[in-house]
Chain A
Amino acid sequence: MAEAETIERLQAMFPGLGISQFRDQTRVLVPVGELYHVLQTLKELLGFDFLVDITCVDYLQYRGARDRFGMVYLLANAETAERITVRCFVNDPDPVVPSVVPLWEGANWLEREVWDLFGIRFRGHPDLRRIVLPEAFTAHPLRKDYPLQGRGERHNFPVIRRGEA
């Protein structure tokens, strides 16, 4: 849970952020244009130096949702154990957010995983390749419109014959 003072300072610097609480957790909703700047401020000025996780939620079938993808950045303060959640919505046809690898080296693989499974592009990422799925994969399977039945992806893969292996 973030301290009230931290939230006040953040609001003073970025007026108009949507701040909500649920089960003692503070969530900040940030427009995609200010995302990098807010994360940088949280890291450098407000002490949230520890990036816990980067993930994404596909709200395609979520009741009442207006946006398609919700990026979720979980931050913590390594000293005081304060936590804050930064959320940001992006939409089709070109879901792209700035990469935070310049801020946290550890974001590299976390962003690659989001790209792999959700197809969100990270602008400025040094090495945006698939990570858990093979390079020949064409879909992003954690999206809600990914079919669970059918022929699957195997027919997309190149066939390796005995002589070429």
Chain B
Amino acid sequence: MPLVRSAFSGDLAHDEPQEYLWTLNFGPQHPATHTTLRLVLKLDGERVVDAMPDIGYLHSGFEKLAEHLNYNQYVTVTDRMNYVSPMANNVAWHLAVERLLGIEVPRRCQYLRVIVAELARISDHLLCIGAMGLDTGAFTHFLYAFNPREQINDIFEALCGARFTNSYTRVGGLMHDATDEAIEMIRRFCRRFPEALRDVERMLNRNRIFMERTQGVGVLTREEAINRCCSGPVARASGVTRDLRKDEPYLAYRDFDFHVCCAGGGDSYARYLVRVAEMWESLRIVQQAVENLPPGPISVGPEYRVAVPEKDQVYTTIEGLISHFELVMSNRGFTVPSEECYTATEAPNGELGFYIVGDGSPRAYRARCRPPSFVHFALFPHLIRGHTLSDVVVVLGSLNIIAAELDR
């Protein structure tokens, strides 16, 4: 509280009106940025007059790497883009490659990809809202959100052996088929998750402290959301009814019954609510997919000459060995058309797309990743102007900025 100043204290240095602003350096190593990014804030007292984002601390040249790794190798790099939901990136990358090749994966593979992409969405949203709670002082909520996330990591481990950097997809298929044990784990998760999610909702949805911290903070109108290229939960919280799973259904999304979750507020609270609502819808999709999981192969047949055969075939049959050899040797591999195309998926954070230019070689000539975090972080100065310093972490958390995807 500023003390009431007397008319003249005799001290000129303190009595002159001071027209200066504080500059606060926020990050790149700060726990509340969650990732490596830097903000230079101009403060008038506690009010943020302007914010200048400074990014690039995690720039690792992923797009340059794409020009030097083949289409199957690069999936390991996509894991490291949005490392909160790597499965969604894997699915997006190989969907883009398959679109360039003009092949469609079998039904079972489509369903399994939908399952892992939706589990990745739940996992991403849990981290986002958990961290948002953490930033506003609700530490318990963070731990409640992390518990189901751990179960999702267990499922991913059962599916592909890796908990974090999954690299589960391959061109024309998947690394492994889902075992019965993994399917049972997904079923068990579907049974247990509603209770956990209700706990999460009970803790924050009507929490007065949380609502006062988030409502009306960082308001984005519908027109601004479109004009500033927002997608995903950020745009849907502002009333843009755009969801690529409905608008241009890829994989098997046409088969499932789910809603697009929107809100009208456009503030941090609306973004939180949209994320929570999307988790319920994702859970419904996973339930439907796992109950109707079609039998059959998980990769396209050998006639396409793109899918790496199963290991037991490689070791026991000459055809399997030859096709494996033809695909993995550095001077072999499949050919792609000398064309370019863009394929977008609805990643947890927004529209994640890859613009791939093929030149006939087994490597992409250029693979541009359209990162949702990058576009959303550009909003930040616009959203924070006029709010207080403590709102910085709320807005940052509600946009769910992942610096590895931001900088690539």
Q: Is the CB of B229 within 8 A of A72?
A: no
Q: Taking the complex as formed, is A40 at the interface, i.e. its CB lies under 8 A from any CB of chain B?
A: no
The number of chain A residues touching the other chain, given as a range, is 35 or more
Question: Contact partner of B226 among A49, A74, A83, A132, CB < 8 A?
Answer: A49
A133-B370 Cα distance, complex, nearest whole Å: 18
Residues of the A chain whose Cβ atoms lie less than 8 Å from the Cβ of B340: 22, 57, 72
Q: Taking the complex as formed, is B353 at the interface, i.e. its CB lies under 8 A from any CB of chain A?
A: yes
Residues of the B chain whose Cβ atoms lie less than 8 Å from the Cβ of A55: 355, 368, 370
Q: Taking the complex as formed, is A98 at the interface, i.e. its CB lies under 8 A from any CB of chain B?
A: no
Q: Is the CB of B56 within 8 A of A109?
A: no
B225 to chain A, nearest CB (A): 9
A56-B121 Cα distance, complex, nearest whole Å: 29
Q: Taking the complex as formed, is A32 at the interface, i.e. its CB lies under 8 A from any CB of chain B?
A: no
A64-B357 Cα distance, complex, nearest whole Å: 14
A99 to chain B, nearest CB (A): 15
Interface residues of B in 147-164 (CB under 8 A from A): none
Residues of the A chain whose Cβ atoms lie less than 8 Å from the Cβ of B353: 52-53, 74
Q: Is the CB of B100 within 8 A of A109?
A: no
Question: Contact partner of B102 among A23, A58, A106, A110, CB < 8 A?
Answer: A23
Q: Is the CB of B370 within 8 A of A52?
A: yes
Q: Is the CB of A23 within 8 A of B227?
A: no
A117-B84 Cα distance, complex, nearest whole Å: 26
Q: With CB as the reference atom, state the residue of chain A lying closest to B56.
A: A132
A41-B48 Cα distance, complex, nearest whole Å: 37
Q: Is the CB of A133 within 8 A of B344?
A: no
Say yes or no: A52-B230 contact (C-beta < 8 A), given A106-B378, A134-B56: no
Q: Taking the complex as formed, is B247 at the interface, i.e. its CB lies under 8 A from any CB of chain A?
A: yes
Q: Taking the complex as formed, is B295 at the interface, i.e. its CB lies under 8 A from any CB of chain A?
A: no
Q: Is the CB of B240 within 8 A of A78?
A: yes
B363 to chain A, nearest CB (A): 12
A37-B25 Cα distance, complex, nearest whole Å: 41
Q: Is the CB of A50 within 8 A of B226?
A: yes
Q: With CB as the reference atom, state the residue of chain B lying closest to A1.
A: B248
Residues of the B chain whose Cβ atoms lie less than 8 Å from the Cβ of A148: 68
Q: With CB as the reference atom, state the residue of chain A lying closest to B360.
A: A63
Chain B interface residues toward A at CB < 8 A: 55-56, 59, 61, 63-64, 68, 99-100, 102, 224, 226-230, 240, 242, 244, 247-248, 338-342, 344, 351, 353, 355, 357, 359-360, 365-366, 368, 370, 374-375, 377-378, 407-408
> 19 extra interchain contacts, Cβ-Cβ under 8 A, other than A74-B353, A106-B229?
A51-B229, A52-B342, A52-B351, A53-B342, A53-B368, A53-B370, A57-B340, A57-B357, A57-B366, A63-B338, A104-B228, A105-B227, A106-B230, A130-B56, A131-B56, A132-B55, A133-B59, A141-B64, A142-B63
Chain A interface residues toward B at CB < 8 A: 22-23, 25, 49-53, 55, 57-58, 61-64, 72, 74, 78, 81, 83, 85, 104-110, 113, 117, 130-134, 141-142, 146, 148
Can you list 15 A-B pairs with a CB-CB distance of less than 8 A?
A23-B100, A25-B341, A49-B227, A52-B229, A52-B351, A57-B366, A74-B342, A81-B242, A81-B247, A83-B248, A85-B342, A104-B228, A106-B230, A106-B375, A132-B408
